[in-house]
Amino acid sequence: MSVAASEPGADTDRSVSILTQTCVRPERAADFARWQSETNTLIAGFPGFIEQQLIPPNPPLQADWVILQRFATLEAARAWLGSAERQSRIDGVSSMLAGRDDVHIVQDKGIARNSPVSSVISTRVLPGKEALYRDWERRMAAAQSRAPGLQGYRFEPPIPGVQEDCVAILRFDTEAHLQAWLDSPERKKLVDEAAPLTQEFHARIARTGFEQWFGEDAAGAPAIPVWKQNMVVLLLLYPVVFLFSVLVQGPLLSGFLGLPFALALFLGNVVSVPLVGKLVPLASRSFTWWLQPNLDRNGEASGALLVLALYAAMVLIFWRLF
């Protein structure tokens, strides 16, 4: 298991995230999900812990499970990685996994929160080749800056005594653009040039879902337009509120319990808001192609018309059924 961290001297007042990518045996996927749920309960009480998100595989591009654990400080994240509690959990999951885990610590500004796809690349540099590797890395950064669809790049050097690997995070607007760059002759030539400088090199791809609802913007990245966010929220809010009103609020809260309308409506909102908060991230992944900023006019119109059509379909279905 490899662990990468931010560079020495980094501002530890900023929150950091532990990004774990792991390959689970297909027949043990349900067991792994239960194991992760139990781990969530344990980590929730750990000092400095903020939040966690589990992202299942999304074949064919993303074959791994991705776990994002956010901590208030670098020290808190490192404490969790070295804790007896975490080690006891790892001891119980090894039979469910296939291959190696990658575990990286990155400052939150380095994680793609509104980019559809990312590549996390780990490299272990041969002793004495560090300066040559950094020169190579600068040439690689310059080359990939010209790649169509690149939204951001972050390089994390090793941290002495914690992790020997360098970590690079590439953020692209589409899977096609990322794959085109990974397969490009220019990149392959540069990777071949780095071979004499490195001991180990591998990359993993993740469809990013590192967000609360739509998530925070990555540093310097354009935000998802508010009107798109509102349209997707309404797409989930309407059926949740409607079904709760028809199935629960009317017959149970107002009818059986005899609660006044104002109280019944309030209780409906108490249930609906967190439920929508869980559903919106799932729905937003289906609309990644449309939610991205700076989409061309045809793409904007196509997405908006699709959402409007879904509105109309829901109204018609509920009208017919109820």
Residue 48 sits in a domain of what CATH number? 3.30.70.100
What is the pLDDT at residue 67?
A: 86
Give the residue numbers spanning the domain of 198: 2-207
Is residue 263 within a helix (H) or strand (E), and if so which, with residue range? helix 261-286
Q: Is the pLDDT reported for residue 208 higher than 70? A: no
What is the pLDDT at residue 310?
A: 95
- Angle, nearest 10°, between helix axes 185-194 and 130-144? 180
Please provide the average confidence, as pLDDT, over all residues in the chain.
Answer: 79
Average pLDDT rounded to a whole number, residues 281-291:
79
Q: Per mean pLDDT, which of 58-62, 76-80, 193-197 is the most reliable? A: 193-197
Q: Are residues 116 and 238 in the same domain?
A: no
Q: Are residues 253 and 286 in the same domain?
A: yes
Q: Evaluate whether residue 212 is within a structural domain.
A: no
State the Cα–Cα distance between residues 247 and 321, nearest whole angstrom: 12
Radius of gyration of the chain (CA): 23
Q: Are residues 85 and 119 in the same domain?
A: yes
Q: What is the pLDDT of residues 111-149, one digit of tens each?
A: 544 456 788 888 889 999 988 998 898 888 888 888 888
Q: Which residue intervals of the chain are DSSP H helices?
A: 29-43, 74-81, 84-91, 130-144, 175-182, 185-194, 226-244, 261-286, 288-291, 297-321
Q: Are residues 153 and 236 in the same domain?
A: no
**Cis omega before residue 239 (within 30°)?**
no
Average pLDDT rounded to a whole number, residues 87-102:
79
Q: Per mean pLDDT, which of 88-92, 168-172, 195-199 is the most reliable? A: 195-199
Average pLDDT rounded to a whole number, residues 222-235:
79
- Report the percentage of the chain scoring pLDDT > 90: 16
pLDDT-derived band at 319, boundaries 50, 70, 90: very high
Q: Are residues 272 and 308 in the same domain?
A: yes
Q: Is the pLDDT reported for residue 223 higher than 70? A: no
Q: Are residues 25 and 113 in the same domain?
A: yes
Q: Are residues 157 and 233 in the same domain?
A: no
State the Cα–Cα distance between residues 103 and 2, nearest whole angstrom: 6
**78 closest CA partner among 102, 55, 49, 100:** 49
Between residues 232 and 284, which one has the greater pLDDT? 232
